């Protein structure tokens, strides 16, 4: 009724989603390629899972007490009456795929990576979107602390590769099903003692998630939290030993890191090692990369007793720290005059493209001056000029737009020239 009167309704991208436009897409492609190249070197292979899954997968995997499942999932019913959810994170999908395809029968450890969109119904702000992108890596079947250190080292190598230096590495251990529950109870009791002095948020945390008590920003809470028991003092011997080994191996790599007992992370399934890379350049959403170990998840889904560890990089957050802007490939603008020249141009352009050159040909009739002006504006590296004379003689003028120099070539010579050019670009020296 309302919109019928006004006519056109504006259709815009959904809240919290974004179009990624050229030339910004170049930067995305570049970072994604850097990641793929790096991960492959560590033996990781891409595993692509669907963007939506049965809702139950995340309820069981991510955990029903996590905020993600509690209030951030894009859940809908399809026409067959199934409850489906756009994935809010990737790990449960990988676990599902491993079990479904019996991938655990392959030689271990299994190493996978994936780059793609995730969905969370959150209120958007800087560095936080409803559709966002993650680079995700997972390792299954390696319980040695060496792998914990290795993936942190790999994460650091990725940041270095894309030129990001402003970050700190935080690590912690959240224990296992044996030692964490008793600790949480201790923590709860300690907090209960000073309940009245804590802020309302923290008072709620005592019941909801005591581990988050350490995360409060209120000064008095922070001071009180100093006196609370720390998980690292309550880890069982296995977890303690693992945590110490992780640190020792990180030292082997020469990595600098901070122990951060407050680092609990929001997913229910973490065990032992958790870590985060944080930056000071992003405002409130300062985590660019986060991960940890989840040794119980595979069992939870009825799979084998196979431990897991992994991390996710927030691409939007990472990209906002990447300053490198890849340059566009050099290309040829083809200018022609008259119908016979147009046809010769179309034919020549097809062959040049086959050789591997980027060529632009426009079909609107313009003067040569006008075409050169456009070539200049569009940033052409060369302009190839084809007029009546050139069609007759079979020799074309190739103009270098930077120097203004111009030289004649036959079409065979042109192809040879650009073949050489492409070859020399691929293997410089």
CA-to-CA distance for 415 and 102, rounded, in angstroms? 51
CB of 229 to RNA, least distance (A): 19
Name the residue nearer to RNA (CB basis): 100 or 389: 389
Name the residue nearer to RNA (CB basis): 9 or 79: 9
Name the residue nearer to RNA (CB basis): 239 or 312: 312
The CA dihedral of 275, 277, 280, 282, to the nearest 10 degrees, is -110
CB of 148 to RNA, least distance (A): 17
Name the residue nearer to RNA (CB basis): 143 or 212: 212
Beta strands in 98-143 (DSSP E): 110-119, 131-140
Count CB atoms within 10 A of the CB of residue 204.
12
CB of 397 to RNA, least distance (A): 5
Count of alpha carbons within 13 angstroms of residue 377, beta-carbon side: 6
Give, in degrees to the nearest 5, the angle at Cα 40 between 301 and 33.
Answer: 105
Name the residue nearer to RNA (CB basis): 202 or 239: 202
DSSP-assigned states of every residue in 360-427? EE--S---HHHHHHHHHHHT-SEEEEE-HHHHHHTEEEEEETTT--EEEEEHHHHHHHHHHHHHHHHS
Name the residue nearer to RNA (CB basis): 70 or 248: 70
Name the residue nearer to RNA (CB basis): 52 or 382: 382
CA-to-CA distance for 47 and 94, rounded, in angstroms? 8
Between helix 145-161 and helix 24-41 the angle, nearest 10°, is 150
Closest to 327 in 3D by CA, of 427, 428, 429, 425:
425
Closest to 398 in 3D by CA, of 372, 419, 379, 427:
372
CB of 173 to RNA, least distance (A): 16
Tokens of 368: 């040569």
CB of 93 to RNA, least distance (A): 14
CB of 308 to RNA, least distance (A): 14
Closest to 154 in 3D by CA, of 319, 24, 43, 30:
43
Name the residue nearer to RNA (CB basis): 4 or 105: 4
Q: How far is CA 157 from CA 26, 33, 42, 161, 274, in A?
A: 21, 14, 11, 6, 18
Tokens of 74: 């894009």
Tokens of 16: 């919290």
CB of 169 to RNA, least distance (A): 13
Asked whether the beta carbons of 373 and 365 are under 8 A apart, the reply is no
Name the residue nearer to RNA (CB basis): 106 or 373: 373
CB of 252 to RNA, least distance (A): 25
CB of 419 to RNA, least distance (A): 24
CB of 53 to RNA, least distance (A): 16
Radius of gyration of the chain (CA): 29
Name the residue nearer to RNA (CB basis): 116 or 251: 116
């Amino acid at each position: 009724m309302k919109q019928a009167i006004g006519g056109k309704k504006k259709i815009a991208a959904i809240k919290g989603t974004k179009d990624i436009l050229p030339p910004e897409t170049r930067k995305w492609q570049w970072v994604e390629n850097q990641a793929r190249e790096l991960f492959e070197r560590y033996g990781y292979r891409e595993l692509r899972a669907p963007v939506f899954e049965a809702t139950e997968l995340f309820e069981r995997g991510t955990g029903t007490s996590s905020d993600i499942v509690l209030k951030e999932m894009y859940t809908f019913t399809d026409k067959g009456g199934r409850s489906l959810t756009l994935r809010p994170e990737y790990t449960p999908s990988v676990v599902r795929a491993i079990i479904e395809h019996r991938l655990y029968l392959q030689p271990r450890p299994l190493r996978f990576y994936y780059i793609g969109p995730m969905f969370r119904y959150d209120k958007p702000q800087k560095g936080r979107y409803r559709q966002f992108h993650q680079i995700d890596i997972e390792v299954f079947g390696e319980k040695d602390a060496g792998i914990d250190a290795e993936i942190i080292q790999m994460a650091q190598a990725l940041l270095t590769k894309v030129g990001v230096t402003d970050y700190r590495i935080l690590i912690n251990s959240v224990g296992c099903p044996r030692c964490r529950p008793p600790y949480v109870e201790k923590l709860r009791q300690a907090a209960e003692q000073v309940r009245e002095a804590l802020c309302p948020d923290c008072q709620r945390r005592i019941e909801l998630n005591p581990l988050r008590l350490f995360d409060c920003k209120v000064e008095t809470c922070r001071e009180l939290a100093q006196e609370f028991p720390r998980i690292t003092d309550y880890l069982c011997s296995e977890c303690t030993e693992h945590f110490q080994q992780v640190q020792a191996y990180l030292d082997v790599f020469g990595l600098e890191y901070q122990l951060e007992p407050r680092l609990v992370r929001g997913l229910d399934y973490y065990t032992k090692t958790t870590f985060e890379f944080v930056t000071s350049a992003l405002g409130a959403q300062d985590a660019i990369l986060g991960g940890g170990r989840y040794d119980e998840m595979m069992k939870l889904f009825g799979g084998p007793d196979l431990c897991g560890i992994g991390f996710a990089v927030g691409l939007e957050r990472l990209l906002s720290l990447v300053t490198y802007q890849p340059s566009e490939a050099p290309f040829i603008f083809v200018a022609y005059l008259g119908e016979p020249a147009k046809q010769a141009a179309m034919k020549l352009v097809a062959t040049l493209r086959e050789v591997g050159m980027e060529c632009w040909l426009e079909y609107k009739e313009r003067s040569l001056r006008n075409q050169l002006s456009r070539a200049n504006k569009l940033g052409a590296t060369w302009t190839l000029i084809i007029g009546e004379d050139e069609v007759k003689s079979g020799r074309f003028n190739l103009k270098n737009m930077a120097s203004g120099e111009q030289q004649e070539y036959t079409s065979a010579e042109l192809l040879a020239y650009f073949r050489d050019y492409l070859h020399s670009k691929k293997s410089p020296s």
